[in-house]
């Protein structure tokens, strides 16, 4: 298909532009165009013939001209220029996680590394240590990434996995044969990292659906293919497993491929006690072999005497007993959040003006939004001095006059190494909400770090403890802290702790968030927004809260503005 041919070329174009350190906006434009072509059900040549290219998402003047060039000549001159002076297999290096485009190019130019095999050998020998800042630890990480690449099971952060799944689902649906499609697996359970993507479909043309998947331009490798299932490795490193199932077994398959192994074992044990057998094909009477359920998940759970269990809870964390006893919680939903309680603007290290943040929050239907830029000690993030904080409050008052949404004047105030706060009490007392966070001295021992945070929570002006363990997924371990002591202090002093929805943090995680709630501590779900699009990361924070069994009453920012301000002024 011409669509797929062009999409492959555009993905290559984006990669080559990245290698040459072009603008990330230009790179993203070619990626979006490739995705548009991959999911376009009409032949792009027909669209071009009727003059409809510019109406396609992500196809502007420049990219439209390249499409027309290819349709007319069978080549794209810009792409050919970008390929010059690079070996034919060079782009395969970019499939190794942790190897950036500029580093890959330096390795080629300095050390002649042009394949994954040569990269592996160079890492083992130490030949490339010193090239483009590569150290011994870098080589160790690259060797791990190469092993993951070969196994086809690289882990991805939740939002990256969601985007890959969304794109593949759109492509499958666009090219016919799909009647119903659902994402299953750990992605449906909203785990913080995802190893592979499970997609289930019903179809009257299974062969067509399978062919679409294995032919997608974004697929780097086909690892298995059969009549009703296929497995591929996406260009982003994730494995994608597709299964075409019968409509009467769809619910059983969705349950089977969503639940954790331990959850499914418990369910099968319950079935056996009732003389039933559960599999991905349905629920069957063991004596007669007759199917008794399978079309819907609700029917599968009902067959063993249970109500439907939300996917996020299917981890064998007590959900089956709770379901049997009628104790499943009504989990929090995104629509119940009334505002965001951790956001940055260009006053510190945000990338948008204050009023743009307010407009974006207003557009999402929020009742309130906070402006919580960094405090003065975090100089790397252009932290605000006392004078600049007060100047910002003057701007908040000016902007407030033009908007119905309430703009909360706040600060993400640093917890200093001894537990003191970065602003004096009289300054903090002027603010609506104070988020206190650790941003330095992460290597303090457990007793020192715990005492540091507990001291900060004793301040009458602190409202929320921000990203309580300081972790960054894949790059920084949590600091050593006694969270039970922290939660006890938060409870004693009437503080909340944060579920930070930044995909690199997701901090608190679900296990710790559940412990905080059990200790009687309210939690906020906040995005720590630095770019406006990150406001939508709130979905990830909601997912953490749901995995933690939290309902709306346990979430601080489900409260009305009046109730929230009454709580912050309690001291």
Regarding pTM above 0.75, the answer is: yes
Quick check: is 397 in a domain?
A: yes
Is the distance from CB of 11 to CB of 218 less than 8 angstroms?
yes
Q: Which domain holds residue 376?
A: 334-568
Residues 186, 238: one domain? Answer: yes
Predicted local confidence at residue 413, as pLDDT = 97
Supply the pLDDT for residue 470. 95
Choose one of 244, 276, 309: the last residue of a domain.
244
On whether both 314 and 338 belong to a single domain, the answer is no
Is 467:507 a contact under the CB 8 Å cutoff?
yes
Same domain as 563, residue 434:
yes
Q: Looking at 68, 84, 100, which one is the last position of a domain? A: 84
pLDDT of the residue at 191: 94
Q: Give the total residue count for the chain.
A: 571
Q: Are 392 and 539 part of one and the same domain?
A: yes
- What is the structure's pLDDT at 570? 79
Is 113 a member of any domain? no
Reported confidence tier of residue 110, pLDDT bands at 50, 70, 90 = confident
CATH of the domain at 54: 1.10.150.110
Q: How far apart are CA 280 and CA 330, in angstroms?
A: 27
Q: Which of 66, 84, 102 is the last residue of a domain?
A: 84
Q: How far is CA 481 from CA 77, 421, 484, 564, in A?
A: 57, 18, 9, 28
Question: Is 188 part of any domain?
Answer: yes
Q: 88-127 burial, b if ≥16 CB within 10 A, otherwise e?
A: eebbbbbbbbebebebbbbbbeebebbebebbbebbeeeb
For residues 295 and 408, state if they share a domain.
no
Q: Is residue 124 part of a domain?
A: no
Domain assignment present for 115 = no
Question: In whole angstroms, what is the distance from residue 398 CA to residue 387 CA?
Answer: 17
Indicate whether 423 belongs to any domain.
yes
Q: CB atoms < 10 A from the CB of 515, how many?
A: 15
Question: Residues of 409-441 as b/e, b for ≥16 C-beta within 10 angstroms?
Answer: bbbbbbbbeebebbbeeebbeebbbbbbbbbee
Q: CB burial class (10 A; 0-12, 13-18, 19+) of residue 243? A: buried
Instruction: Put residue 418 in one of left, alpha, beta given phi > 0 → left and psi -120 to 50 → alpha.
Output: alpha
**Reduced to 3 states, what is the DSSP secondary structure of residue 144?**
helix
**CATH code, 275:** 3.30.210.10
pLDDT for the residue 33: 93
Same domain for 310 and 361?
A: no
Q: Both 297 and 357 in a single domain? A: no
Same domain, 558 and 497: yes
Residues 368, 413 share a domain: yes
CATH assignment of the domain containing 455: 3.20.20.140
Rounded to an integer, the average pLDDT of 101-114 is: 85
Residues 208 and 316 in one domain: no
Give 421's DSSP letter. B
C-beta separation of 335 from 319 below 8 A: no
Whether 341 and 524 have beta carbons less than 8 Å apart is answered as: yes
**410 and 277 share one domain:** no
251-279 per-position pLDDT tens digit: 999 999 999 999 999 999 999 999 999 99
Instruction: Check whether 571 has a pLDDT greater than 60.
Output: no
SS3 state of residue 446: helix
* Residue 47 vs residues 52, 58, 72, 167: alpha-carbon distances, Å: 5, 14, 14, 21
| H-state helical runs in 59-179 | 61-73, 77-83, 101-111, 116-125, 136-151, 158-174
Looking at the fold, whether 230 and 375 belong to one and the same domain comes out as no
Tell whether 125 is covered by a domain: no
Most confident by average pLDDT, 93-102, 361-370, 379-388: 361-370
Whether residue 112 is predicted with pLDDT greater than 90 in this model: the reply is: no
Is 126 within a domain?
A: no
> Given this model, what pLDDT does residue 164 score?
94
Q: What is the number of structural domains in the chain? A: 4
Report the pLDDT averaged over residues 130-139.
Answer: 85
pLDDT of residue 537: 95
Q: Are the CB atoms for 89 and 112 separated by under 8 Å?
A: no
Tokens, residue 520: 């009687």
Q: Which two tokens stand for residue 294?
A: 């399978």
Give the CATH number for residue 215: 3.30.460.10
Rounded Cα distance, 212 and 314, in Å: 31
- The answer, yes or no, to whether the previous bond of 197 is cis (omega within 30 of 0) is no
Residue 446, pLDDT > 60, answer yes
pLDDT in tens, 418-439: 999 999 999 999 999 999 999 9
Residue that is written with structure tokens 């296990």 in the block: 511
What tokens were used for 86? 């690079």
């Amino acid at each position: 298909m011409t669509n797929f041919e062009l999409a492959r070329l555009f993905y290559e174009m984006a990669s080559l532009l990245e290698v040459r350190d072009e603008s990330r906006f230009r790179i993203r434009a070619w990626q979006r165009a490739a995705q548009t072509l991959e999911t376009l059900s009409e032949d792009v040549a027909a669209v071009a013939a009727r003059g409809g290219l510019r109406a396609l998402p992500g196809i502007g003047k420049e990219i439209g001209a390249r499409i027309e060039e290819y349709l007319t000549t069978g080549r794209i001159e810009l792409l050919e220029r970008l390929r010059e002076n690079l070996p034919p297999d060079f782009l395969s290096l970019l499939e190794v996680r942790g190897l950036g485009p500029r580093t890959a190019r330096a390795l080629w130019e300095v050390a002649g590394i042009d394949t994954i095999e040569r990269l592996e050998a160079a890492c083992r020998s130490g030949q490339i240590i010193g090239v483009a800042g590569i150290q011994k630890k870098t080589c160790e990480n690259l060797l791990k990434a190469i092993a993951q690449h070969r196994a086809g099971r690289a882990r991805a952060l939740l939002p990256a996995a969601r985007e890959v799944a969304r794109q593949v689902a759109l492509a499958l649906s666009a090219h016919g044969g799909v009647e119903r499609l659902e994402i299953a697996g750990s992605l449906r359970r909203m785990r913080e990292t995802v190893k592979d993507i499970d997609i289930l479909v019903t179809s009257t043309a299974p062969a067509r659906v399978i062919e679409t998947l294995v032919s997608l331009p974004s697929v780097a490798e086909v690892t298995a293919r059969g009549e009703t299932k296929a497995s591929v490795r996406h260009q982003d490193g994730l494995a994608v497993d597709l299964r075409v199932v019968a409509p009467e077994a769809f619910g059983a398959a969705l349950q089977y491929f969503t639940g954790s192994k331990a959850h499914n074992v418990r369910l099968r044990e319950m079935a056996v006690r009732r003389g039933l057998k559960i599999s991905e094909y349905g629920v069957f009477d063991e004596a007669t072999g007759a199917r008794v359920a399978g079309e819907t998940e609700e029917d599968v759970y009902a067959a063993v005497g249970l109500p439907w269990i939300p996917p996020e809870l299917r981890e064998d964390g007590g959900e089956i007993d709770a379901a049997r006893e009628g104790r499943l919680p009504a989990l929090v939903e995104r629509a119940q959040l009334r505002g965001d309680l951790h956001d940055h603007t260009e006053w510190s290290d945000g990338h948008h003006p204050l009023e743009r943040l307010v407009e974006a929050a207003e557009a999402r239907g929020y009742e309130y939004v906070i402006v919580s830029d960094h405090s003065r000690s975090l100089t790397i993030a252009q932290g605000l001095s006392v004078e600049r904080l007060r100047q910002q409050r003057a701007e908040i008052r000016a902007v407030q006059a033009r908007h119905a949404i309430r703009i909360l004047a706040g600060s993400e105030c640093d917890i200093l190494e001894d537990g003191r706060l970065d602003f004096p009490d009289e300054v903090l007392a002027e603010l609506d909400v104070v988020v206190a966070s650790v941003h330095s001295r992460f290597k303090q021992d457990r007793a020192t770090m715990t005492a540091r945070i507990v001291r900060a929570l004793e301040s009458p002006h602190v409202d929320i403890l921000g990203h309580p363990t300081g972790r960054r997924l894949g790059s920084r371990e949590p600091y050593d802290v006694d969270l039970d002591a922290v939660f006890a202090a938060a409870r004693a002093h009437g503080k909340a702790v944060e579920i930070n929805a930044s995909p690199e943090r997701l901090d608190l995680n679900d296990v710790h968030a559940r412990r905080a709630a059990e200790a009687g501590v309210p939690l906020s779900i906040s995005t720590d927004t630095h770019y406006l699009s990150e406001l939508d990361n709130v979905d990830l924070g909601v997912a953490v809260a749901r995995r933690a069994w939290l309902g709306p009453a346990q979430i601080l920012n489900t409260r009305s503005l009046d109730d929230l301000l009454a709580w912050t002024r309690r001291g």
